[in-house]
Structure 1
């Protein structure tokens, strides 16, 4: 593989807010990389727990950047990036961690035209026990030039913050992250815009761990409607940022791109079903969203069987009576809500359908 230089420097930026309990594991994992030129930056977003003491205990082995006021995910990214120098930049959430070979693997597979690299993560619990892989192995990453997918449906198959690495050249163009729009989910902003400036390279290996616990921003098991509304609005912010950035490079995003994205349509349908009074799009209807979702499902980069199953799920949520539709919807989006027999069936289907 061709690297951006013979031995590119690498920055690992750890974004932290009140994760003092998890932070040492994240910092230790960054400091333990089997690669020489790595700087570790901790961008602390005005934590109120004992994160400051944890950070201070590492002395000059890390670069500490403490924000005076809490600004959210995007603000922490901006602060850490401003202090960094690496030609390749990783953003690591403070509750996650990397494996020692992560940076070496990233550099070994980096090419001159790579803007973003993505890799899989082990899903682990609070005790670091491996529970699964994210994204699931049967869901292929999208790689290469993903711009056509972005322009058409504003999404491609990627991953979360801790499974990503970026070329500094791409980040220089798209950072600062808009802080009010991306208080959470700043990785969504980066993965939406970075591919406009190079290709996406994917590694089908687990190079770190994505820790699942009750305080993850992405975990709203008991607040399905709240989660869905946030994700719908987050997608609108991503689409606007994409449209603005695409215009700067002479490209045009489809104005109805979100309506071609099954992930967006799933959350939009959830928002409407669970709490229609607070749903952000007044003109939406269950049937219209479900129909769009079924059509979009058939265009996904997964097996035909998997596409057909998702399309059938969309149509069932759109056509069933409201109460039954809510149950079917929650069974898919919140694993803990599934009856035991359905949970077993879901696990079986997942391993059978590739």
Structure 2
């Protein structure tokens, strides 16, 4: 254990844009850590709401970085990192918050070769009511050296911004985040390239809350086609960044890595089924994507039952008439669209495979 004098310095960087109504909870959670050597940096990305008043109320308890022009997620990350001093760096979205033991648990789990620590988050609504866990407890984190998974399919089991902590030495190698490519989803860039330079340490406990609400980028309501297209393009940018970083250290990622990734294939199928005219990949077919998805599903790090069910889901989307395929897609991607019997079945299956 570290004494107060020699504890590892930690930086918590809160990225905010027009989230004044959530920001105080986020800042308070960062200041309320049961760890002595943590600085709190708030980056305001040119907000036009009451953010300035919220920030001013904290005076010198936080470090503030005010951006004059809105630059997006990556720009906020880059600005905050440039002002930080911590050897361990957490990026916290302003609508999310940490539990008091988050930093101390991260430090306790830290290892010599750690590039990134990841932990689960409670999914909460606008009123901080817990709705679920992300990632779901039945999906095991990938830990240790995840480079083979990255090189095989461009993804491993990780989490979102507020459930990640990074080694500063690794961030020095991979930052700044490309601001034009990752105006949104900068965490996707960092979580993709950081593990090339060390190991991933996973904590299965929930150490914070990931807030789902109508205004954040994670929610597109019923606009599944729009959401799918954004995620496909984001994946292509991630894969290019991964390829560039891998090449620098003498590794190579196959051009078709995304076709081994069930998450990516799910979005490709969704885009193609829902709005084929605006689908961004010209040569895709439902059947080929479904077949690739079924094969990729069977190789997932999950229970046999879960893998089999996902493979069957992919195949059904590939062979059923388009109207039925679209309904099944929406049932999986938007819980509120599911018939009651399917909601009950989903809960039963989830408990069974957990």
Q: TM-score, normalised by structure 1?
A: 0.98
SS in 2 for 1:53: helix
CA distance in 1, matches of 2:67, 2:280: 32
Q: CA RMSD in A?
A: 1.1
Matched, 1:302 2:302: yes
Q: How big is the shift at 1:18?
A: 0.4
Where do 1:56-71 residues align within 5 Å? 56-71=56-71
SS in 2 for 1:323: helix
SS in 2 for 1:22: helix
The equivalent residue for 2:99 is 99
Q: How big is the shift at 1:131?
A: 1.2
SS in 1 for 2:36: coil
The equivalent residue for 2:144 is 144
CA distance in 2, matches of 1:127, 1:323: 36
The equivalent residue for 2:81 is 81
The equivalent residue for 1:261 is 261
Q: How big is the shift at 1:221?
A: 2.2
Structure 2: segments with no counterpart, 5+ residues:
none
Structure 1: segments with no counterpart, 5+ residues:
none
- The alignment covers a number of residue pairs equal to 352
Cα deviation code 1:193-240 (max 9, x no counterpart): 000110000001011111111112011121100000000000000000
CA distance in 2, matches of 1:6, 1:76: 29
The equivalent residue for 2:44 is 44
SS in 2 for 1:268: helix
Cα deviation code 1:290-313 (max 9, x no counterpart): 000000000000001100000000
CA distance in 1, matches of 2:6, 2:109: 12
SS in 2 for 1:155: coil
The equivalent residue for 2:286 is 286
Q: In the alignment, is the contact (CA less than 8 A) between 2:212 and 2:218 conserved in 1?
A: no
CA distance in 2, matches of 1:353, 1:33: 34
The equivalent residue for 1:203 is 203
Q: In the alignment, is the contact (CA less than 8 A) between 2:214 and 2:221 conserved in 1?
A: no
CA distance in 2, matches of 1:94, 1:347: 31
SS in 2 for 1:48: coil
Q: How big is the shift at 1:6?
A: 5.3
CA distance in 1, matches of 2:6, 2:234: 38
CA distance in 2, matches of 1:82, 1:66: 13
Could you list the structure 1 runs, at least 4 aligned residues long, displaced by more than 2 angstroms after superposition: none
The equivalent residue for 2:351 is 351
CA distance in 2, matches of 1:251, 1:7: 35
Q: How big is the shift at 1:102?
A: 0.6
The equivalent residue for 2:154 is 154
The equivalent residue for 1:336 is 336
Matched, 1:15 2:31: no
Matched, 1:112 2:116: no
Deviates more, 1:5-14 or 1:112-121: 5-14
CA distance in 2, matches of 1:348, 1:44: 43
Where do 1:126-205 residues align within 5 Å? 126-205=126-205
CA distance in 2, matches of 1:306, 1:132: 18
The equivalent residue for 1:270 is 270
Q: TM-score, normalised by structure 2?
A: 0.98
CA distance in 1, matches of 2:266, 2:221: 15
Q: How big is the shift at 1:46?
A: 0.5
CA distance in 2, matches of 1:23, 1:121: 18
Matched, 1:246 2:264: no
CA distance in 2, matches of 1:286, 1:6: 57
CA distance in 2, matches of 1:286, 1:211: 33
SS in 2 for 1:14: strand
